[in-house]
Amino acid sequence: MDFFQLAAKSIFLILPSYFANSIPVILGGGRPIDGKKKFSDRQRIFGNGKTVRGFLAGIFAAILIGAIEALALSGSPLALFDSSAAYVYSGFLLGLGTMLGDLAGSFIKRRQKLAQGKPSFLMDQLLFLFVALAFAYPFASHLLSLESVIFLAVLTYFVHVGANVLANRWGLKKVPW
């Protein structure tokens, strides 16, 4: 597989995850997923920024992107899977993995006593990616070579930073990270 094809297929694979990671900024809010409960260290489990609505919206967005990809990519040279159901299922797995990875990052940041909204390189930019890929791996292992994972890690860092700067400038986020 040449670099262009590897890059294109890697981007199409991770697109549901990118949408799952970003849509809670727009559609989130409401009841915190941790119910405002504290962990044994007396810190919030996740914080106010992780909500039930945002979590579910992220998963739904990933499923929707998977369905759109099924329509757009099926039968093309850049097709990822053999069936429409596979795209939707992959979207679900990537969305769930993304949202759980984001929650894990928030949980770890609270244990480190980092205030909500404070940056953490690994937790903010890459943990959601690695958990999403781990969830999708049993289903999409044929797309996840070492090269594609490295490509996605580098790409995700820059996409995440750029998206957060834009979201901050547009008033969707209080901080640009």
- Number of domains, the chain: 1
pLDDT grade, residue 118 (50/70/90)?
Answer: confident
Q: Is 156 inside any structural domain?
A: yes
Domain that holds residue 120: 3-169
Whether pLDDT at 137 is above 80: yes
Q: Is 16 inside any structural domain?
A: yes
Q: Is 83 inside any structural domain?
A: yes
pLDDT tens sequence across 45-75: 999 989 999 999 999 999 999 999 999 999 9
Q: Is 175 inside any structural domain?
A: no
Q: Is 174 inside any structural domain?
A: no
Q: Is 176 inside any structural domain?
A: no
pLDDT tens sequence across 139-148: 899 999 999 9
Q: Is 106 inside any structural domain?
A: yes
Q: Is 177 inside any structural domain?
A: no
Burial letters 114-152, b for 16+ CB under 10 A, else e: beeeeeeeebbbbbbbbbbbebbeeebeebbeeebbebb
